[in-house]
Amino acid sequence: MPSEFDVIARYFTRPAPNGTLGVGDDCALFPVPAGMQIATSKDLLIEGRHFYPDVDPEALGHKALAVNLSDLAAMGAKPIGCLLGLALPGVDEPWLAAFARGFHALADTHGCALIGGDTTRSSRDLTISVTVFGAVAAQHALRRDGARVGDHVWVSGALGAADIAYRLLDGQLPADEERLAATRRALEWPMPRVELGLALAGLAHAAIDISDGLVQDLGHVLSASRVGAQLQFDALPVAAALQGLDHDTRIRAVLGGGDVYELCFTAAAENEDRIRQAAANVGVPVTRIGHVTEASGLQVLASDGRPMAALPRGFDHFPGS
């Protein structure tokens, strides 16, 4: 069986970018671009909670980094590098090779090289923790507390597909092979909106990436900014794969569904054209879904113009506590 050091050397040691000291020493070293601040974030993925034990390891490697890059995107930060923590129940080389392939491919796409980490044995389950580093000019960072009354509220991409795939796989929705095929990619291969985040830095007022559901995540922006918002349900970009599902399932998926990794952001109304141009330049669809209000709370207007009564709360690891 390969040792811990064989695993690191075979699967997680790659040439570090110029000027960077990568895997192999006590710490990694990387230069901080002049005038910028470091944006850093960590996500933890636990077997049985964030992924199924039999998930495609290449997709898992991709997603472990994607969810972190999505946080950099939501801050408007440019990726610099990342750290990978792995607790492995054993050494399964084909599994590690596929995991590393998915991880490094996305890292290469976004110039976010793996520069260090930690590898240990776990007694049972697999745990993955990724930390990313990015750079952003402090005054351009897309913080959650920057939304202003009168701002437009925007969202990138389309909503709902990952939630439907998750609920099909989890048996909460009746088996439907065709719909699973149409939604599974959204769940397992999310594409972090790094380029869009960079294009919005200094242009939008506030942003968040949707990991726990639009209602919940936009709610974080609204409370941090001490404002409210009104959205039009009919304006929301619903993933095409949701067609034909009953109304309640769609509402739940679109407003409460997690694992979306699209950006929800607010920007001054007069910047509407610039926002559309910036999004077009990076080839990401964006949709205006509502506006920021002085009255606190989130209102979603249904087709008849009336506020929807109960909004899905989205995901919470400790509900009710």
Q: Which residues bind ligand ADP (CB under 6 A)?
A: 8, 12, 23-26, 84, 86, 114, 116-119
Residue 93 or 118 having the CB closest to Mg ion: 118
| Cα–Cα distance, 153 to 230 (Å, whole number) | 9
What are the helix and strand counts (H, E) for the chain? Answer: 9, 10
Picked from ligand ADP, Mg ion, none, the partner binding residue 117 (CB below 5 to 8 A depending on kind) is ligand ADP
Closest residue to Mg ion in the complex (CB): 118
Phi and psi, residue 165, nearest 5°: -60, -45
Picked from ligand ADP, Mg ion, none, the partner binding residue 265 (CB below 5 to 8 A depending on kind) is none
Q: Exposed/middle/buried for 243, CB within 10 Å: 0-12, 13-18, 19+?
A: exposed
Residue 118 or 316 having the CB closest to Mg ion: 118
Residue 114 or 155 having the CB closest to Mg ion: 114
CB atoms within 10 A of CB 189: 15
Residue-wise DSSP of 169-182 = HTTSS---HHHHHH
Q: Cβ 118 to Mg ion, closest distance in Å? A: 4
Picked from ligand ADP, Mg ion, none, the partner binding residue 86 (CB below 5 to 8 A depending on kind) is ligand ADP
Q: Cβ 28 to ligand ADP, closest distance in Å? A: 6
Picked from ligand ADP, Mg ion, none, the partner binding residue 25 (CB below 5 to 8 A depending on kind) is ligand ADP
CB atoms within 10 A of CB 264: 23
267: left (phi over 0), alpha (psi -120 to 50) or beta: beta
Assess 118 for contact with Mg ion (CB under 5 A).
yes
Q: Cβ 313 to ligand ADP, closest distance in Å? A: 35
Picked from ligand ADP, Mg ion, none, the partner binding residue 96 (CB below 5 to 8 A depending on kind) is none
Residue 83 or 311 having the CB closest to ligand ADP: 83
Picked from Mg ion, ligand ADP, none, the partner binding residue 67 (CB below 5 to 8 A depending on kind) is none
Q: Is 53 helix (H, G, I), strand (E, B) or coil?
A: coil
| Cα–Cα distance, 156 to 69 (Å, whole number) | 15
Q: Cβ 130 to Mg ion, closest distance in Å? A: 15
CB atoms within 10 A of CB 171: 8
The DSSP bridge partners found for residue 152 are 267, 291
Assess 25 for contact with Mg ion (CB under 5 A).
no
Chain residues that interact with Mg ion, rule: CB under 5 A: 118
